[in-house]
Amino acid sequence: MRKLLLIYNPNSGDGGFKNDLDSAILEFQNGGYKVEILRATNHGDIEQYISEMPNNFESIVSAGGDGTLNVVINAVKRYGIQAKIGIIPSGTANDFANFIGIPKSVQEASRVIGQGKSRKCDLGQANGKYFINVCAAGLLANVSHRVDENIKSSLGTLAYYLKGIEQLPNFVPMKMKIRNTKEEIIEDLYFFVVLNSAGTGGFSKLSKEAEIDDGLFDFIGFKALNILELAVLFVKVVKGDYLEDDGIIFFRDSEIEVEYLKNSGDDELQADLDGELGPNLPIEIKNIKQSIEIYVP
């Protein structure tokens, strides 16, 4: 039989995936898989397991949020595992899964994997670390790390909005140097995102042009505005109608460099990759076109 590794984080989202574990296994077995399970409870569990596993698994399934998926993908790429990746969106933030149309139901998402249809997708690489959905940095990029896990479980995406609003009075402009293959831009920004899909943090309409296999990322930089202008811009962001706004830097490219032109004594600025802590700026971001295979509906 074909081999499938199911990795699940019991603390993702509301922690309810374990109640649907049997239905997931049933769908995999119906698809002709022999199932092996990793319950990842501690930091490092996933990487250690994948580093020691044989390279004869056809599929590796990530049941959790964007962060769990990021850890799985980084381990798979680091250790040269050739398996296709399945996604069960049981975390608080499931932006990539939502974009490619993975059902929210555990049973239905598992059935997608069992049916075996897949698509080659782009990956991002930022200073050697991978991301599949978003690389971000600035004053809102680390919201996911500041939201209490209990609040995440009870409020879901709303928790991110509330935390973002809470930080608004503390916004301080950061001078960034941004390079792509065509130009160099120096601008005071509050934060930026480099997107593979259309959204992050629950904002699902950040890019109407996003495609996960075109070899391009969307760069969206939010300029330093006053609070009232920023509030108006956020309303446009929620509606997905803001890319022509003067407060936005937007372009599409396959190679992007971002440098934080900090003053002496300023703290380092750390990037966020799919909700996981990433490298400090400066960062070199490259699109690795169609370099991973994902199960899709």
Instruction: Please compute the mean of the pLDDT values over residues 140-162 and round it to a whole number.
Output: 45
Look at residue 158 in the predicted model and tell me its pLDDT: 40
Average pLDDT along the chain: 86
- Of 102, 98, 214, the C-alpha closest to 156 is 98
Predicted pLDDT of residue 244:
80
Output the CA torsion sign for 175, 258, 131, 77.
negative
E-only strand ranges, 196-282: 217-223, 248-253, 255-260, 270-273, 276-280
Count of other CB atoms within 10 angstroms of residue 106: 22
Q: Which CATH architecture has domain 131-288?
A: Sandwich (2.60)
Going from N- to C-terminal start, the domains of the chain cover 2-116, 131-288
Question: Quick one: pLDDT at residue 164?
Answer: 52
pLDDT at 255 over 80: yes
Q: What are phi and psi of 45, to 5 degrees?
A: -60, -45
Q: What is the mean pLDDT of residues 233-238?
A: 75
Decide if 2-116 and 131-288 have a common fold: no
* Residues 266-276, mean pLDDT to the nearest whole number: 89
- End-to-end Cα separation, the chain, in angstroms: 23
Does CATH place domain 2-116 in 3.40.50.720?
no
> Of 13-22, 114-123, 239-248, 257-266, which gets the smallest average pLDDT?
239-248
| CA-based nearest residue to 135, from 122, 143, 126 | 126
**Is residue 73 within a helix (H) or strand (E), and if so which, with residue range?**
helix 66-78
Q: Percentage of the chain surpassing pLDDT 70?
A: 87
Mean pLDDT along residues 67-91: 95
pLDDT score at 168:
58
Mean predicted confidence (pLDDT) in 63-81: 95
CB distance 40 to 46 below 8 Å: yes
Cβ proximity of 147 and 159 under 8 Å: yes
Average of pLDDT values for 101-129? Answer: 97
Rounded mean pLDDT, 110-138: 96
